Structure 1
């Protein structure tokens, strides 16, 4: 995904009220930007971090700037979760996801029950797969981890994938790691043990578990490779969709 207009750089002063961030631009001006991320942004929201913002020309927007990425040490981290589904759909369409080839159609925001929508439904070859996408911005000791806060909604999505899988439908949970300083993935069980257990249950029920990494920079965000993942409490690594439940 190429940014159609150059991003504006600045320094993060603080993030607050979840969806707002004060930023000092290179001109010295202090602005308030929209922060489209429901997580804690643990490890990528420290004051004085370098950030990149997009700017909307829509005169009706209260906050024209949107926080797109934050630099954690020397690594750009994509934090705009509104872009995550688009990035994955684009990568699917371009054949960058090895597990999904011969793409015929991609549907978005697919209702699977009265109270649940999943992010994508992909028609590929002779198959159809429901995919729930999660943005992963947390990394510790080269482990990319999700979630960065307790997520009741995320656990609900896993249970929906399990239900569909048990009905014989093909399903997938897809973690998009938007930072390049990790080389493996596992659930953040120390943050949300319930989600970690549900992810194990999903894998055991036949839900495909994938983690892919995106290279993030101020010009482009591009999915570049799959990551091995582990669902075990004690980290051990497994490749691609072969992420087992313990």
Structure 2
């Protein structure tokens, strides 16, 4: 997924009210302070440190749903966990709304050879009041349901974690996937790790023990748990290789 138009580099002043952030954008005649949209409803633990280098997506002068001139896309943070003991840095895609588009492009490009792509439907209703991200089909029409979760948290070197805050919606999705698996349909929970410093994926059970218990149950019911890395730069974000999911 390439960023069009190109991203603009900035420095974070502060994030507040979940969906707002103040940024400083350097220019030839001095820096400009702007308020931008933060498209991430989570806690963004370890990703909202004042002074962090960021990249923003410019928005048209007339953009539906917002009057803010930029949307926050990427932040540079400590590699190796929240404390950043190594001194190295990592790039993190903080826009959770990008995850499904990244996965859709990956499906079209054959990045996920173990998932069927003969038919691809997005945002498919399950039951009376919920939706799952993808309903895939193979050549024989057999369905494969996929729910995507964007992962940005890392508190230990090389290990991504989910969730970064309590998620009732995520727990509900696990129950829906579990019911589908028990009914004999293929169901997959796909963690998309939007960080370029993680080689493994684990649950943040201390942050949301209810979600962790729900995932354990869903796995026992036959839900497949997968994790995929991302290649990230200010030019774009693409789904990469599958990484190990640690459970236990």
Q: 2:130 corresponds to which residue? A: 116
Q: TM-score, normalised by structure 1?
A: 0.91
The 5 A counterparts of 1:20-169 are: 20-27=20-27, 28-60=31-63, 61-73=66-78, 74-101=89-116, 103-126=117-140, 127-141=142-156, 142-169=158-185
Q: 2:2 corresponds to which residue? A: 2
Q: 2:243 corresponds to which residue? A: 227
Q: Is 2:208 aligned against 1:203? A: no
Q: 1:242 corresponds to which residue? A: none
Instruction: Give the whole-Å Cα distance in 2 for the aligned partners of 1:29 and 1:9.
Output: 12
CA contact (8 A) 1:143 1:185 kept: yes
Q: Secondary structure in 2 aligned to 1:195? A: helix
Instruction: Give the whole-Å Cα distance in 2 for the aligned partners of 1:44 and 1:25.
Output: 18
| TM-aligned CA deviation for residue 182 of structure 1 | 1.1
Q: Secondary structure in 2 aligned to 1:227? A: strand
Task: Structure 1: state its 5+ residue gaps.
Answer: 233-246
| TM-aligned CA deviation for residue 208 of structure 1 | 0.9
Instruction: Give the whole-Å Cα distance in 2 for the aligned partners of 1:71 and 1:145.
Output: 17
Instruction: Give the whole-Å Cα distance in 2 for the aligned partners of 1:215 and 1:185.
Output: 16
Q: 1:177 corresponds to which residue? A: 193
Instruction: Give the whole-Å Cα distance in 2 for the aligned partners of 1:124 and 1:40.
Output: 37
Q: Secondary structure in 2 aligned to 1:39? A: coil
Q: Secondary structure in 2 aligned to 1:132? A: strand
Instruction: Give the whole-Å Cα distance in 1 for the aligned partners of 2:57 and 2:135.
Output: 29
Report how many aligned residue pairs link the two structures.
231
Q: Is 2:18 aligned against 1:15? A: no
Instruction: Give the whole-Å Cα distance in 2 for the aligned partners of 1:214 and 1:176.
Output: 7
CA RMSD in angstroms comes to 1.1
Instruction: Give the whole-Å Cα distance in 2 for the aligned partners of 1:116 and 1:171.
Output: 15
Instruction: Give the whole-Å Cα distance in 2 for the aligned partners of 1:164 and 1:100.
Output: 16
Question: Which stretch shows the higher mean deviation, 22-31 or 59-68?
Answer: 59-68
| TM-aligned CA deviation for residue 172 of structure 1 | 0.6
Q: Secondary structure in 2 aligned to 1:38? A: coil
| TM-aligned CA deviation for residue 231 of structure 1 | 1.5
The counterpart of 2:230, out of the listed 196, 214, 221, is: 214
Instruction: Give the whole-Å Cα distance in 2 for the aligned partners of 1:88 and 1:159.
Output: 22
Moved over 6 A (4+): none
Instruction: Give the whole-Å Cα distance in 2 for the aligned partners of 1:26 and 1:107.
Output: 42
CA contact (8 A) 1:196 1:231 kept: no
Task: Structure 2: state its 5+ residue gaps.
Answer: 79-88
Instruction: Give the whole-Å Cα distance in 2 for the aligned partners of 1:125 and 1:176.
Output: 26
Instruction: Give the whole-Å Cα distance in 2 for the aligned partners of 1:64 and 1:13.
Output: 16
